[in-house]
């Protein structure tokens, strides 16, 4: 029986290739994940304009492709896989 998933692309790597500090505003490239370096709250807006605040603690990772952020408190990094 043929593999029904044979045509799927290879999974993306799980480690980041590039990272930048997130400040309130828009990044030049859509990131793949958000990493929390110091506890805080970050509001992420998706491509449809829906905003949602996430309370994160140090070490949390949010896998989300977004380009618009509002940092209430804490320190965050945008990861590019």
Give the tens place of pLDDT for each residue, 41-74: 999 888 788 889 999 999 999 988 876 888 988 9
Single pTM value for the model: 0.74
DSSP conformation letters of 49-69 = S-EEEEEE-TT-EEE---SEE
What is the average pLDDT score of the chain? 80
Helix (H, G, I), strand (E, B) or coil at 77: strand
């Amino acid at each position: 029986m043929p593999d029904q998933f044979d045509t799927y692309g290879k999974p993306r790597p799980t480690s980041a290739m590039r990272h930048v500090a997130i400040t309130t505003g828009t990044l030049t490239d859509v990131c793949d994940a958000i990493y929390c370096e110091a506890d805080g709250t970050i509001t992420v807006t998706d491509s449809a304009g829906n905003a949602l605040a996430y309370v994160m603690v140090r070490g949390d990772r949010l896998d989300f492709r977004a380009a618009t952020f509002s940092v209430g408190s804490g320190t965050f990094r945008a990861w590019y896989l």
